[in-house]
Chains A and B, each alone.
Chain A
Amino acid sequence: MSFLSILYALLFYAATILLVVGLGRKIAQYARTPAPLKIPTMPAPTTQTGVVIRVATEVVFFRQLFKSNKWIWVFGWMFHMGLFLVLARHLRYFTEPVWTWVVLIQPFGKYASFAMVAGLAGLWARRILVERIRYISAPSDHLMLALLLGIGLSGMGMTFVAHIDIVSLKAFLLGLMRFDWSHSLPSDALLLIHLLLVAILMIIFPISKLLHAPGVFFSPTLNQVDNAREKRHLAPWAAELDAKRAE
Chain B
Amino acid sequence: MNNGGPFIAKPAHNEPLGYPGELIDGWEDVAVAKLGDLASKYRSLQVFLDSCVKCGACTDKCHYFQGTHDPKNMPVGRQDLLRKVYRRYYTFAGKYFPKLVGAVDMTKEVLDDWYTYYHQCSQCRRCSVFCPYGIDTAEISMAAREIMDTVGLGSKYNNEIIVKAQTIGNNLGLPEPALVDTLGGLEEDLLDDTGLEIKVPVDVHGADVLLVTPSADFFAEPHIDGLMGYAKVFHAAGISWTLSSYASEAANFSMFIGSYANMKKQAERIRKAALELGVKRLVVGECGHAWRVAYSFWNTLAGPFDFLDPNYPVPQHIVEFTHQLHTAGAIKFDKERNDGKVLTFHDSCNVSRASRMGDKPGGQYRLPRDLLRASCNNFVDMPRETIFESTYCCGGGGGLLTDDLMEVRVKGALPRMEALNHVIQENGVTHMAAICAICKTQFAKVLPYYGMGMDQIISLHQVVGDALVLGTPNQ
Residues of B within 8 A of A229 (CB): 295, 299, 313-315
Residues of A within 8 A of B58 (CB): 68
Q: Which of B59, B74, B99, B355 contacts A139 (CB 8 A)?
A: B99
Within 8 Å of chain A (Cβ to Cβ): is B182? no
Residues of B within 8 A of A143 (CB): 100
In Å, the complex CA distance between A140 and B139 comes to 25
Nearest Cβ on chain A to B202's Cβ, whole angstroms: 23
Binds B, one of A8-16, A40-48, A168-176, A193-201: A40-48
Judge whether A68 and B93 touch: CB under 8 Å. no
Residues of B within 8 A of A38 (CB): 296-297, 300
Residue of B nearest to A132 (CB): B59
Contact A228 to B54, CB < 8 A, known contacts A42-B356, A218-B43: no
Judge whether B41 and A237 touch: CB under 8 Å. yes
Within 8 Å of chain B (Cβ to Cβ): is A233? yes
In Å, the complex CA distance between A65 and B136 comes to 14
Judge whether B130 and A64 touch: CB under 8 Å. yes
Q: Binding site of B, secondary structure by majority: helix, strand, loop or mixed?
A: helix
Contact A209 to B40, CB < 8 A, known contacts A64-B130, A132-B74, A215-B133: no
Judge whether A72 and B136 touch: CB under 8 Å. no
Residues of B within 8 A of A234 (CB): 300
Within 8 Å of chain B (Cβ to Cβ): is A135? yes
Q: Which of A64, A133, A241 contacts B59 (CB 8 A)?
A: A133
Judge whether B361 and A46 touch: CB under 8 Å. yes
Judge whether B261 and A241 touch: CB under 8 Å. yes
A-B contact pairs, 27 of them (CB 8 A): A33-B47, A37-B296, A39-B139, A41-B389, A43-B361, A46-B360, A64-B129, A65-B131, A65-B132, A68-B130, A72-B57, A132-B71, A132-B74, A133-B56, A136-B59, A141-B54, A208-B93, A211-B51, A212-B50, A212-B133, A218-B43, A219-B47, A220-B134, A222-B133, A228-B295, A229-B315, A232-B304
Judge whether A136 and B74 touch: CB under 8 Å. yes
Judge whether B54 and A136 touch: CB under 8 Å. yes
Residues of B within 8 A of A30 (CB): 43, 46-47
Residues of B within 8 A of A241 (CB): 260-261, 264
Within 8 Å of chain B (Cβ to Cβ): is A76? yes
Q: Which of A43, A218, A233, A237 contacts B299 (CB 8 A)?
A: A233
Residue of A nearest to B58 (CB): A68
Judge whether B43 and A33 touch: CB under 8 Å. yes
In Å, the complex CA distance between A239 and B468 comes to 44
In Å, the complex CA distance between A143 and B100 comes to 9
Within 8 Å of chain A (Cβ to Cβ): is B52? yes
Within 8 Å of chain A (Cβ to Cβ): is B364? yes
In Å, the complex CA distance between A44 and B300 comes to 18
Judge whether B361 and A226 touch: CB under 8 Å. yes
Within 8 Å of chain A (Cβ to Cβ): is B332? no
Q: Which of A202-229 contact B (CB under 8 A)?
A: 204, 207-209, 211-212, 215-216, 218-222, 226, 228-229
A interface residues (Cβ-Cβ under 8 A, vs B): 26, 29-30, 33-39, 41-46, 58, 62, 64-65, 67-69, 72, 76, 123, 126-127, 130, 132-133, 135-141, 143, 204, 207-209, 211-212, 215-216, 218-222, 226, 228-229, 231-235, 237-238, 241, 245-247
Within 8 Å of chain A (Cβ to Cβ): is B185? no
In Å, the complex CA distance between A238 and B77 comes to 31
Nearest Cβ on chain B to A71's Cβ, whole angstroms: 10
Contact A219 to B135, CB < 8 A, known contacts A65-B57, A132-B60: yes
Judge whether B129 and A29 touch: CB under 8 Å. no
Contact with A along B103-136 (1 / 0, CB 8 A): 0000000000000000000000100111111111
Residues of A within 8 A of B303 (CB): 232
Residue of A nearest to B360 (CB): A46
Most chain A CB atoms below 10 A, which of B51, B136, B315: B51
Contact A207 to B93, CB < 8 A, known contacts A30-B47, A135-B71, A232-B300: yes
Judge whether B41 and A36 touch: CB under 8 Å. yes
Residues of B within 8 A of A123 (CB): 55
Residues of A within 8 A of B74 (CB): 132, 135-136
Judge whether A136 and B76 touch: CB under 8 Å. yes
Q: Which of B47, B91, B300 contacts A215 (CB 8 A)?
A: B47
Residues of B within 8 A of A42 (CB): 352-356, 361, 364, 389
Residues of B within 8 A of A222 (CB): 133-134
Judge whether A33 and B46 touch: CB under 8 Å. yes
Within 8 Å of chain A (Cβ to Cβ): is B7? no
Judge whether A39 and B50 touch: CB under 8 Å. no
Contact A138 to B101, CB < 8 A, known contacts A41-B136, A220-B44, A222-B133: yes
Residues of A within 8 A of B304 (CB): 232
Given A216-B134, A229-B314, 5 more contacts at CB 8 Å? A72-B56, A76-B55, A76-B132, A138-B100, A207-B92
In Å, the complex CA distance between A82 and B467 comes to 59
Residue of B nearest to A55 (CB): B134
Residues of A within 8 A of B299 (CB): 228-229, 231-233
Residue of A nearest to B352 (CB): A42
The 3 closest A-B pairs by CB, nearest first: A215-B51, A138-B102, A43-B361
Q: Which of A46, A64, A238 contacts B131 (CB 8 A)?
A: A64
Residues of B within 8 A of A64 (CB): 57, 129-132, 134
Judge whether B51 and A216 touch: CB under 8 Å. yes
Residue of A nearest to B314 (CB): A229
Residues of A within 8 A of B16 (CB): none
Within 8 Å of chain A (Cβ to Cβ): is B187? no
Nearest Cβ on chain A to B127's Cβ, whole angstroms: 9
Judge whether A41 and B261 touch: CB under 8 Å. no
Contact A36 to B54, CB < 8 A, known contacts A41-B125, A41-B128, A232-B304: no
